[in-house]
């Protein structure tokens, strides 16, 4: 499992489903460089159970991400046709109808591997045949990428553990607070609270007030 924080987000081009049903080729995060921060999150599989709860949770908060200028992008190792089919199924039937942000189809599994969230790897048996040693689907990875394309926050959950979308928003707020004010964000910081200067004096001053 690689740690990408502080590094450039791996570049890629892949098919994706956008606007709730349009399949496009060569979707890339490069289009947002210099323009928008990105929250890129991976999920294991279409037509499963925890996954739609997460996708709908991000959709419910999409306006709040957009107010902050942040693009939300999902990805799994399913095909674009699978994404499209799942998007046709109503929410009350376990589908993701109503999701409008892009969903990347990492069918080659190279994107999940580049981001360090692929569960399993390729190997060879004694006869030289390529085999998969694992389910070869993505863990629940989440990456906050700044406007310059640098990974600023990384979270990876195992399959049974759904993520907290409010925490993803909090991390966006923390990043933007730091970028705008040059102050760092202490434990449990929330938007609207004060930060602290990244010095011994700044820490001491903050702790004396809390």
Per the structure, the complete domain to which residue 169 belongs is given by 164-210
Question: Are residues 196 and 124 both part of a single domain?
Answer: no
User: N- to C-terminal Cα distance for the chain?
Assistant: 36
For residue 204, pLDDT over 50 is answered with no
Residues 150 and 176 in one domain: no
Are 98 and 148 part of one and the same domain? yes
Q: Which long-range contacts (CB under 8 A, 24 or more apart) does 168-173 make?
A: 168/39, 168/41, 168/58, 168/142, 168/144, 169/61, 169/64, 169/65, 169/68, 171/144, 172/37, 172/39, 172/65, 172/68, 172/70, 172/144, 173/68
**pLDDT(155) > 70:** yes
How many separate domains does the chain show?
Answer: 2
CA-to-CA separations, 116 to 10, 105, 113, 141, 197, in angstroms, rounded: 10, 16, 5, 9, 33
Smallest CA-to-CA distance from 88 within 98, 101, 80 is with: 98
Average pLDDT value for the chain:
92
pLDDT of residue 200: 45
Same domain (yes/no): 29, 81? yes
Claim to verify: residue 169 and residue 157 sit in the same structural domain: no
Rounded to whole angstroms, the Cα distance separating 74 from 157 reads 15
Contact 105, 66 (CB under 8 A): no
Inside any domain, residue 7: no
* Residue 185 falls in the annotated catalytic set: no
Residues 119 and 41 in one domain: yes
Who wins on pLDDT, 17 or 123?
17
Is 122 a residue whose pLDDT tops 90?
no
Encode pLDDT of 23-49 as tens digits: 999 999 999 999 999 999 999 999 999
Same domain, 84 and 122: yes
Among residues 39, 51, 117, 151, the one annotated as catalytic is 51
- Domain end (from 129, 144, 162): 162
* pLDDT at residue 191 greater than cutoff 80: yes
> Mean of the pLDDT values across residues 152-173?
97
Q: How many CB atoms lie within 10 A of CB 131?
A: 9
Q: Is there a domain that residue 198 lies in?
A: yes
pTM of the model: 0.92
193 and 114 inside one domain: no
Residue 184 near residue 198 (C-beta atoms within 8 A): yes
Residue 200 falls inside a structural domain: yes
pLDDT tens per residue across span 132-145: 788 999 999 999 99
Supply the DSSP symbol for 29: G
Per the DSSP assignment, residues forming a β-bridge with 41 are 74, 142
Taking alpha carbons only, the member of 152, 165, 116 closest to residue 37 is 152
């Amino acid at each position: 499992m690689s740690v990408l924080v502080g590094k450039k987000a791996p570049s890629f081009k892949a098919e994706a489903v956008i606007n709730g049903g349009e399949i496009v080729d060569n979707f890339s995060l490069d289009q947002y460089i210099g323009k928008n921060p990105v929250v890129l999150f991976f999920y294991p599989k279409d037509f499963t159970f925890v996954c739609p709860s997460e996708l709908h949770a991000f959709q419910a908060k999409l306006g709040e991400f957009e107010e902050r200028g942040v693009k939300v992008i999902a990805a799994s190792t399913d095909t674009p046709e699978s994404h499209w089919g799942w998007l046709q199924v109503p929410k009350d039937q376990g589908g993701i109808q109503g999701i409008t942000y892009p969903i990347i189809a990492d069918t080659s599994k190279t994107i999940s591997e580049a981001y360090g969230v692929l569960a399993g790897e390729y190997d060879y048996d004694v006869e030289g045949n390529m085999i998969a040693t694992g389910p070869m689907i993505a863990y629940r990875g989440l990456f906050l990428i700044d406007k310059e394309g640098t990974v600023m926050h990384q979270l990876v959950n195992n399959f049974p553990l759904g993520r907290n979308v409010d925490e993803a928003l909090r991390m966006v707020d923390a990043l933007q607070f730091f970028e705008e004010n040059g102050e760092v964000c202490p434990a449990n910081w929330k938007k609207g609270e004060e930060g602290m200067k990244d010095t011994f004096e700044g820490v001491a001053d903050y702790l004396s007030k809390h």
